[in-house]
Amino acid sequence: MSDSANSNKPGNSTTASPRREAWEKNILNPTLAKSPERQREFTTVSSYPIRRLYTQDDLAGWDPERALGFPGEPPYTRGIHATMHRGRLWTMRQFAGFGTAEDTNKRFRYLLSQGQTGLSTAFDLPTLMGYDSDHALSEGEVGKCGVAISSLADMEVLFDQIPLADVTTSMTINSPAAVIWAMYLAVAEKQGADWKKISGTLQNDILKEYIAQKEYIYPPEPSMRLVIDTFEFGMKHTPKFNVISISGYHIREAGSTAIQELAFTLRDGMEYVEWAMRRGLPVDEFGPQLSFFFNAHNDFFEEIA
């Protein structure tokens, strides 16, 4: 792994190993004499310095049995599933939504016909802000950055000929999430789908709206009450549906570093859990319906860390 030019000493060790010293003398120094590194310091996207070389010297006291474990068990370093995706592939969804409900329905059906295994719904800005398409403030924004949904009739058209009992649906909606989800469940019910069996994900993460995306409608406390209402409803009636996608993605896009994204997002998750427990909801019942959504940059090792 390439590293900063001014970091010839080992990572966290006080002395370099004999093998490393030999490498520096016989390999590194002649290379630098012939071709100096192009800058004084290298960093990740989040401005953390990257050393030139990392070896076992940097992992003093590391116990692989304790720190690595096995797949499917804590600390999940080797994956959250025992066989990961050897048994079942992850759901593949292309974010889609534009124009009218008819336009997006055609797109959805096309994507499913091409092998997509789930749907990811983009709503236009008026819908995200809780406005009907014919509202004066919606002018110029209807159907532009997603599909325009103003009524249950629109939702019925959006999912026409799409069996919601068999397709998982992600909906990127926050402030009006409870209303949009109610429409979705009404459509599923009209199709004859069992609420206990349908699955998908509601974004429903209002805290990250105040932090990053800024598409909030109500003050924090009544907004949080609506979110916890969906937790309670989902726990009782839609056990396979993720009632929230606690989202770091937008925080990162708003300018945070990787560690800031992680810190804000996990704290948001803790806040939702605390509110739900104060409501009297048992965490072991609603907890499995909480999901997370993170950004993934191409600083491979920083993202893993």
Phi-psi category of residue 131: left, alpha or beta, with phi > 0 → left and psi -120 to 50 → alpha: beta
Task: Give CA–CA dist 160/300, Å, rounded.
Answer: 41
pLDDT at position 3 is 42
Low-confidence ranges of the chain (pLDDT < 70): 1-15
**pTM (predicted TM-score):** 0.81
- Average pLDDT over the chain reads 90
pLDDT at position 113 is 96
DSSP string for 64-103: HHHHT--TTSTT-TT-SSSSTTSSSPPP---EE--SSHHH
Beta bridge partners of 122: 172
Tokens encoding 262: 């992680």
pLDDT tens, residue by residue, 96-145: 999 999 999 999 999 999 999 899 999 999 999 999 999 999 999 999 99
pLDDT at position 1 is 39
pLDDT at position 67 is 76
Task: Give CA–CA dist 37/50, Å, rounded.
Answer: 13
pLDDT at position 15 is 65
pLDDT at position 153 is 98
Task: Give CA–CA dist 210/8, Å, rounded.
Answer: 44
Task: Give CA–CA dist 277/293, Å, rounded.
Answer: 22
| Percentage above 70 pLDDT, the chain | 95
Task: Give CA–CA dist 111/119, Å, rounded.
Answer: 8
Specify the residue for token string 């989902």.
Answer: 234
The sign of the CA dihedral 265, 268, 273, 276 is negative
Structural domains in the chain plus CATH codes? 18-59 (no CATH), 89-304 (3.20.20.240)
